[in-house]
Amino acid sequence: MRPAEPKGCPLADVRFDHATKIYPGTDAPAVDALDLHIEDGEFVVLVGPSGSGKTTALRMLAGLEEVDDGAIYIGDRDVTYLAPKKRDVAMVFQNYALYPYLTVEANIGFPLRIAGIKKEERARRVREVAELLGLEPYLQRKPGQLSGGQRQRVAMGRAIVREPSVFLMDEPLSNLDAQLRVQMRADIAALQSRLGVTTVYVTHDQAEAMTLGNRVVVMSDGHVQQCGPPRELYEAPVNTFVAGFIGSPAMNLLTLPVEGSAVRLGGERVPVPAGATSNGRSTLVVGFRPEALDLATEGIPAEVEVVEEVGADAYVFCVAEVAGETTKLVARTDWRSAPERGARVKLKPQPDEAHVFDLETGERIGET
Amino acid sequence: MTSATAKAQPPTFTRRKPPANVRRRRFLVTVADHSFLIAAALVFLAPFVFIVLTAFMTNDQALSPDLWPHPFRFQNFADVFSEAPLWRYALNSLIYGGLATLFLLASSIPVAYALAKLRWRGREAAFLIVLVAMLLPPQVTVIPVYVMWAKLHLVGSLWPLILPNLLGDAFSIFLLRQFFLTIPDEYLDAARVDGCGEFRILTTVVLRLAKPAIAAVALFSFLFCFNDFFGPLLYTGESPDNWTLSVGLAQFRTVHQVQWNLTMAATLIVIAPVVVLFFLAQRAFVEGVTLTGVKG
Ligand SMILES: Nc1ncnc2c1ncn2[C@@H]1O[C@H](COP(=O)(O)OP(=O)(O)OP(=O)(O)O)[C@@H](O)[C@H]1O
Ligand SMILES: [Mg+2]
């Protein structure tokens, strides 16, 4: 008995077509000509730093913000000027927005009550959803009597029960503690793939984005920086912004002078793509993930500032002198071989793991 | 899922009392801290005690300097009802207060909602106009308004006092708006996405969330009407059938000038419902006032 039976409207893909939002009283668009196509049943995560326009984009899709330019489509319907209630979307809010005066049962059943669905039918569907989310013991409680995780599930339940064509979630896990967040993350992923409903999920936590999304959209200043599967974002960030944003700890980005067709780093010659030097660039930004820097007997001399042990791994935060400038570097190592704080180490980059970017534009320079 | 765990006996505590000298000190400090309030409370209570005591006296005694009734004359309360149609007045007060409050809520709530939660051009200006309406003293408008009701042939009834509430009340709108502002937008947005139009949001979500504020406004309004003397006197002065308790009480006093004991008994009967109402709704009342008062 799945709550979401296949419905009449089969295709619920979402399309932003140059969608733009300028809040009254501001000159810079909060969302600037957003082009994005989300396939039916896809789980897409919008991620970006605070103020990058993620929430705004989501609210535009929900119909809670007027679209100032461009259009938005759900399936083959142009919903740009449609009221929220006509869009057939359900939304989970960051603070859950559960009605404090209603029981869990009534909260979950609220959208059905508004839709004028009969009491028995309503009770049946609420029960199904409660079962799915493990909420049966709490149906008669008020939201105030629930833990954060349970409230979160009630909020999910209220979205699911409607069987909408699109789920929208705005940082639904940010009010939970770290452990619960990881668990709910897995639950949401499982639930989404089970229900197969197109989902747009907003977070500023890149770890959440990378684990949840079929595709991740990195936003900054109202623009899409990059859009692709998590692995692609990690392995081939299109610019220094994405390179620095995705991955934790962040990628080491170094500004280095070009020597011939390579840059020199800690005695290591790191070849750069042929295109990198073609238009006379004399300086490049070269990035290494922490796992692409090894503690070795030779390499960049550095002093250890902090060592963070994360289970089997340890991240070694160092200061080093690179190309005449004092730079912070992070390397990953096995926790057993982690150096002491204050120790002097040598960091050896893996040349074929280098990401090369243009100094001026920050764009990735590809291996052509 | 729920495993039955053996319930342990709750441990029995005997809470230790602070030593006697500490307790005495605390008591004295409490009295000292509140001395001003206690004095003020006595001042406010004195007339009330005087009313209660006089209400039980004989008429002769009421005019004497004695403070304690001897004997207690309970007959006063029965006499009051035979001397004046108090039930009639009470019914009029109830009609006036009830309808006025109902109309006031029906008209003020949507306005306050629009001023607090809907985005539209000119909203701030509109709110300013509402505020300005609060500054207008009623004495300024009373004559033209009276003339208007006279032309409508409604003078003599309570309608001139009830009907204007359909047009909203500046103070109530202000109070409700301040409260609505404190309701997180997410509740409304959630309702919007879940299929509510604005009116539906107002009736299903906002009314429930704003219950304390609405209760406070309703109480304010009802008490105002119940205590209103000027309005009923002005419009119903010539038709005793439509007198409210406040007007009835005043007439009673002039007719039975010498009978202070009956006047006080009648006064007690009239203020009793107000006091009861206040105690019953005290929590909602105070909550509403503080909630609306803090923000904004
Ligand atoms: N109601 C509003 N009026 C004016 N400007 C707004 C409004 N809401 C958001 N903005 C602006 O629009 C930009 C994008 O905001 P938005 O809330 O979409 O960011 P976000 O990516 O969701 O950030 P966060 O991760 O902090 O939630 C910000 O610069 C913000 O200041
Ligand atoms: Mg946001």
Q: What is the pLDDT of residues A68-93, one digit of tens each?
A: 999 999 998 999 999 999 999 999 99
Domain boundaries, chain B: 20-79, 86-291
**Do B209 and A110 make contact, defined as CB atoms within 8 angstroms?**
no
Which residue's CA lies nearest to atom 16 of ligand 1?
A53
Q: In A, which residues are within 8 Å of B123 by CB distance?
A: none
How close is the nearest chain A Cα to the Cα of B72, in Å? 50
**Do B189 and A64 make contact, defined as CB atoms within 8 angstroms?**
yes
How close is the nearest chain B Cα to the Cα of A194, in Å? 22
The answer to whether the Cα torsion of A114, A115, A120, A122 is positive or negative is negative
pLDDT digits (tens, 9 = 90+) for A126-182: 999 999 899 999 999 999 899 988 999 999 999 999 999 999 999 999 888 888 889
Percent of chain A scoring above 70 in pLDDT: 97
Asked if pLDDT for residue A351 goes beyond 80, the answer is yes
**Do B209 and A101 make contact, defined as CB atoms within 8 angstroms?**
yes
Sorted by sequence, the CB contacts under 8 Å of residue B227 that are 6+ apart come out as B246, B274
Instruction: Report DSSP state, residue B8.
Output: P
pLDDT at B290: 56
User: What are the residues facing A329 on neighbouring strands?
Assistant: A318
B53-64 CB burial, b ≥16 within 10 A, e <16:
bbbbbbeebbee
B171-191 CB burial, b ≥16 within 10 A, e <16:
bbbbbbbbbbeebeebbbbbb
Q: Which residue has the tokens 């996405």?
A: B193
Of the residues A56, A64, A205, A220, which should be mutated to test ligand 1's pocket, given the most ligand atoms within 8 Å of the CB?
A: A56
d(CA A44, CA A39): 9
Q: In A, which residues are within 8 Å of B193 by CB distance?
A: 62-64, 84-85, 87, 89-91, 168
Surrounding residues of ion ligand 2, Cβ less than 5 A: A 55
The answer to whether the Cα torsion of A143, A148, A153, A158 is positive or negative is positive
Phi (first) and psi of residue A319, to 5 degrees: -115, 140
ipTM of the complex: 0.85
Contact (Cβ atoms closer than 8 angstroms) between residue B186 and residue A62:
no
Which residue in B283, B279, B162 sits closest to B216, CA to CA?
B283
pLDDT at B263: 83
Average pLDDT for chain A: 90
Strand order in the sheet with A344-349: A293-296, A344-349, A300-310, A313-322, A325-334
User: CA-nearest residue of chain B to A115?
Assistant: B195
Sorted by sequence, the CB contacts under 8 Å of residue B36 that are 6+ apart come out as none
pLDDT digits (tens, 9 = 90+) for A244-270: 999 889 999 999 988 888 888 877 788
pLDDT digits (tens, 9 = 90+) for A198-225: 999 999 988 899 999 899 999 999 999 9
**Do A64 and B204 make contact, defined as CB atoms within 8 angstroms?**
no
- Of all ligands present, the nearest one to the C-alpha of A52 is 1
Counting beta carbons within 10 angstroms of the beta carbon of residue B138, is it exposed (0 to 12), middle (13 to 18) or buried (19 or more)?
exposed
**Do A85 and B189 make contact, defined as CB atoms within 8 angstroms?**
no
Contact (Cβ atoms closer than 8 angstroms) between residue A357 and residue A349:
no
Q: In B, which residues are within 8 Å of A168 by CB distance?
A: 193
Q: In B, which residues are within 8 Å of A91 by CB distance?
A: 189-190, 193
Domains and CATH numbers, chain A: 14-235 (3.40.50.300), 250-358 (2.40.50.140)
Chain B contact for A335, CB < 8 A?
Answer: no
Q: Which residues of chain B have pLDDT under 50?
A: 1-6, 291-296
pLDDT band of residue A1 (cuts 50, 70, 90) is very low
User: What are the residues facing A328 on neighbouring strands?
Assistant: A319
How close is the nearest chain A Cα to the Cα of B198, in Å? 11
Which residue in A253, A292, A286 sits closest to A271, CA to CA?
A286
- The ligand 1 site (C-beta within 6 Å) comprises A 23, 26, 30, 48, 50-56, 204
Counting beta carbons within 10 angstroms of the beta carbon of residue B1, is it exposed (0 to 12), middle (13 to 18) or buried (19 or more)?
exposed
Chain B contact for A122, CB < 8 A?
Answer: no
CA of A52 to the centre of ligand 1 (A): 7
CA of A172 to the centre of ligand 1 (A): 17
pLDDT band of residue A275 (cuts 50, 70, 90) is confident
**Do B195 and A97 make contact, defined as CB atoms within 8 angstroms?**
no
Contact (Cβ atoms closer than 8 angstroms) between residue A295 and residue A331:
yes
| The domain made up of B86-291 is a member of CATH 3.10.580.10 | no
d(CA B19, CA B122): 65
The two tokens of residue A154 are: 């009630």
pLDDT band of residue A112 (cuts 50, 70, 90) is very high
The strand ranges marked E within A242-312 are 252-259, 262-265, 268-271, 283-288, 293-296, 300-310
Q: In A, which residues are within 8 Å of B195 by CB distance?
A: 85, 111, 114-115
pLDDT at B123: 93
Q: Three-state secondary structure along A196-249?
A: CCEEEEEECCHHHHHHHCCEEEEEECCEEEEEECHHHHHHCCCEHHHHHHCCCC
pLDDT digits (tens, 9 = 90+) for A288-337: 999 999 988 888 889 999 999 988 999 999 999 888 889 999 999 998 88
Contacts with B, A 36-95, CB within 8 Å = 59, 62-64, 83-85, 87, 89-91, 93-95
Q: In A, which residues are within 8 Å of B205 by CB distance?
A: 99
Asked if pLDDT for residue A8 goes beyond 70, the answer is no
